Amino acid sequence: MASPGSVREWHDETDVLVCGFGLAGAAAAIEAHDSDPGAGVLLLEKMPECHAGGNTRVSGQSLLISKDVEALKSYQRAMSATNPVPEDMLDVWARRMVELEPYIEARAREAGARYIHGVGWSERAAVLEYPEFGAASAVAHTATILPVPSGVWLAFKANVEKRERIRRSFDTALVDLVQDPDTLEVFGAVVSRNGIRRNIKARRGVVLCTGGFENNLGMQRDYFGLSEAYPLGSPGNTGEGIKILQKAGADLWHLRNQGQSGGIWPGFRFPGHPTAFLRQLFWQSFSWVDVGADSRRFIDETHEWQITHYKQKVQGQWIDTPHHRVMPMHMIFDETTRRHNCLVTKVMTWNTVVEKYDWSDDNATEIASGWIARADTIEELARRIGRDPAALAATVKRYNDACARKMDDEFGRAPATLQPIAAPPFHAIEIVPAIVCTGGGARRNIESEVLDHSLRPIPRLYEAGELGSMFSNPYQNGSYLTEAMISGRAAGRNAAGLPDWSREPRRAI
Ligand SMILES: Cc1cc2nc3c(=O)[nH]c(=O)nc-3n(C[C@H](O)[C@H](O)[C@H](O)COP(=O)(O)OP(=O)(O)OC[C@H]3O[C@@H](n4cnc5c(N)ncnc54)[C@H](O)[C@@H]3O)c2cc1C
């Protein structure tokens, strides 16, 4: 922290300072603005304006809508049983969730956008991730705001832009908080713009909405234990919010939970693209397998793992699928799969939505780029990707034999997806573990107050969204975006409701 005594000059000031312009930051800024017509709000984003929006902008835009407080509580309690959410937090969260739909509709209306049930890019009305925990009663439906992609983000961005009292500052990173070293009360922040440090006075409060640490491999290794993992979302999510909160005296939680709740997904990553592509979720043909370090298969590849956010049930426990434990991995496929399936998902991820990388529908461009290896025989393909030819050929033969029998003894793949890898040329693409959302951060309460090591709120400090998310372990689709709204609203409303510290003589600095 920077102590008030170290501040020689305030370069700017506001009532409520919101850091990070994703959904949580947008919701916090809107709420601070609307809850007090006298409140000035400054919204900082470290990325340039064209790259704002965080993970929110490139997510699947799926929103969980619930109509039953008790069923939702019971479902979430069961999912978080291995690391329980405090009951008082769960209770208020469930009530706010059940009241959330009209708020989302209002944001869509204000932006002139259409609110719909479903997600606009899949036929499903709702994904019920864990029926055994009570998903069917807890989840009324999923919803989104059009267009696809980015509809929810675009609507909230438009809501922010309509409000003149919300000033926005891009290319501006939060680097520290100005705090009383004894009471921890927060008076403002230190930010960096074009390498120049500036002190910003926040007369009522500071809200951190700086997202996760998906794009910080060191933190993935130290805090989560993954040796390799790459973001599917914003490259701006490098975890400094967590470091700043540590320095501010916050207690931390949820740094290590199953798959960071959002799961560890199969992705592809190439030079010149710091973030990962997400592998296709909907297949037209199934003449492909995944192999791990020993060139053998390791999972039922065509099971819809996305429905449980890449968690599988082992001995009664929902744990991460083994992808991150069996590296290096390759997807091996034949010419039929190459011709009939674009290998990546285009409706979400930074590369496709923001960078607008247009992966070719028949993957020919990516073969020409050298991202996909190709050979006339499996043995030759193995040599090209540095694998043992005999081992890879044996795996493909075992799989093709299973296809002939319509019975996958090894992993129980569905018979309809047992299509042989038979049409040359054969192809291979490396798979990397890819992260949707991290979720770790400061422990907070349902009012989005950041808690210190004694579980007391740090005065005037708030946190919202996936930074310090309340979710831990199994996770229901659509919960992160709605949590960003609920926690962002609470943070904005509570910060705006505080008195101006600079008018209190004892605190003047
Ligand atoms: C591919 C993908 C699909 C997903 N699908 C869904 C879905 O369908 N439904 C769902 O509920 N959730 C989904 N999620 C998760 C969801 O998108 C996130 O949990 C949510 O968007 C987090 O919102 P946020 O505002 O907390 O963070 P973000 O939206 O990530 O925003 C954080 C912002 O903070 C900025 N920032 C970082 N550091 C600083 C700093 N020091 N100073 C200033 N600014 C900073 C970043 O640049 C970024 O703009 C998905 C995520 C991904 C990646």
pLDDT tens column, 239-249: 999 999 999 99
Ligand 1 atom at minimal distance to the Cα of residue 237: 37
Choose one of 45, 50, 51, 56 to mutate for the ligand 1 pocket test, by most ligand atoms within 8 angstroms of C-beta: 56
Q: How far is the CA of 198 from the centre of ligand 1 (A)?
A: 25
Q: What is the pLDDT along the chain (509 residues), one digit of tens a residue?
A: 789 989 999 999 999 999 999 999 999 999 999 999 999 999 999 999 999 999 999 999 999 999 999 999 999 999 999 999 999 999 999 999 999 999 999 999 999 999 999 998 988 888 999 999 999 999 999 999 999 999 999 999 999 999 999 999 999 999 999 999 999 999 999 999 999 999 999 999 999 999 999 999 999 999 999 999 999 999 999 999 999 999 999 999 999 988 999 999 999 999 999 999 999 999 999 999 999 999 999 999 999 999 999 999 999 999 999 999 999 999 999 999 999 999 999 999 999 999 999 999 999 999 999 999 999 999 999 999 999 999 999 999 999 999 999 999 999 999 999 999 999 999 999 999 999 999 999 999 999 999 999 999 999 999 999 999 999 999 999 999 999 999 999 999 999 999 999 987 655 45
How far, in Å, from the CA of 236 to the mean position of ligand 1? Answer: 9
Write out residues with Cβ below 6 Å of ligand 1: 19-25, 44-47, 52-56, 58-62, 173-174, 209-211, 232-234, 236-237, 240-241, 262, 348-349, 436-437, 465-467, 478-481, 484
Mutation test of ligand 1: which of 355, 437, 485 has the most ligand atoms closer than 8 Å to its C-beta?
437
User: Nearest residue CA, atom 10 of ligand 1?
Assistant: 478
Q: What does 380-396 look like in DSSP terms, one character per residue? A: HHHHHTT--HHHHHHHH
Residue of the nearest CA to atom 39 in ligand 1?
Answer: 210
What CA–CA distance (Å, rounded) separates 359 from 341? Answer: 11
What pLDDT is attached to residue 505?
A: 65
Q: Is the peptide bond before 425 cis (omega within 30 degrees of 0)?
A: yes
What long-range pairs does 377-384 form, CB within 8 A, spacing at least 24? 377/424, 377/426, 378/332, 378/421, 378/426, 381/332, 381/426, 381/427, 381/428, 382/295, 384/428
Give the position of tokens 């983000």.
Answer: 153
SS (H, E, C) 36-75: CCCCCEEEECCCCHHHCCHHHHHCCCCEEECCCHHHHHHH
Long-range contacts of 136-141 (CB under 8 A, 24+ apart): 137/68, 137/71, 137/75, 138/66, 138/68, 138/71, 138/72, 138/74, 138/75, 138/76, 138/476, 139/64, 139/65, 139/66, 139/75, 139/476, 140/65, 140/66, 140/67, 140/68, 141/65, 141/117
Q: Structure tokens of 395?
A: 């795996």
Token pair, residue 50, equals 């064209």
Q: Ligand 1 centroid vs 54 CA: distance in angstroms?
A: 4
What is the reported pLDDT for 504?
77
Write the burial class of residue 141 (CB in 10 Å: 0-12 exposed, 13-18 middle, 19+ buried): middle
User: What atom in ligand 1 is closest to the CA of residue 61?
Assistant: 8
Look up residue 279 and give its two tokens: 């592998």
C-alpha of residue 269 to centroid of ligand 1, in Å = 20
Q: Can you list the domains of the chain with their CATH numbers?
A: 4-258+436-507 (3.50.50.60), 263-435 (3.90.700.10)
Distance CA 428, CA 413 (A): 20
Query: What's the gap between Cα 204 and its chain centre?
Result: 29
Burial class (CB in 10 A: 0-12, 13-18, 19+), 137: middle
| 2 CA from centroid of ligand 1 (Å) | 27
Q: What is the rounded CA–CA span in Å between residue 284 and residue 248?
A: 51
CA-proximal residue: ligand 1, atom 26 (nearest): 465
CA dihedral 136, 138, 141, 145 (to 10 degrees): -150
Residue 48: asked if its preceding bond is cis (omega within 30°), the reply is no
Q: How far is the CA of 397 from the centre of ligand 1 (A)?
A: 43
What is the torsion angle, in degrees rounded to the nearest 10, for the CA atoms of residue 355, residue 361, residue 367 and residue 370?
A: 10
If one counts every other C-beta atom within 10 angstroms of the C-beta of residue 360, the result is 14
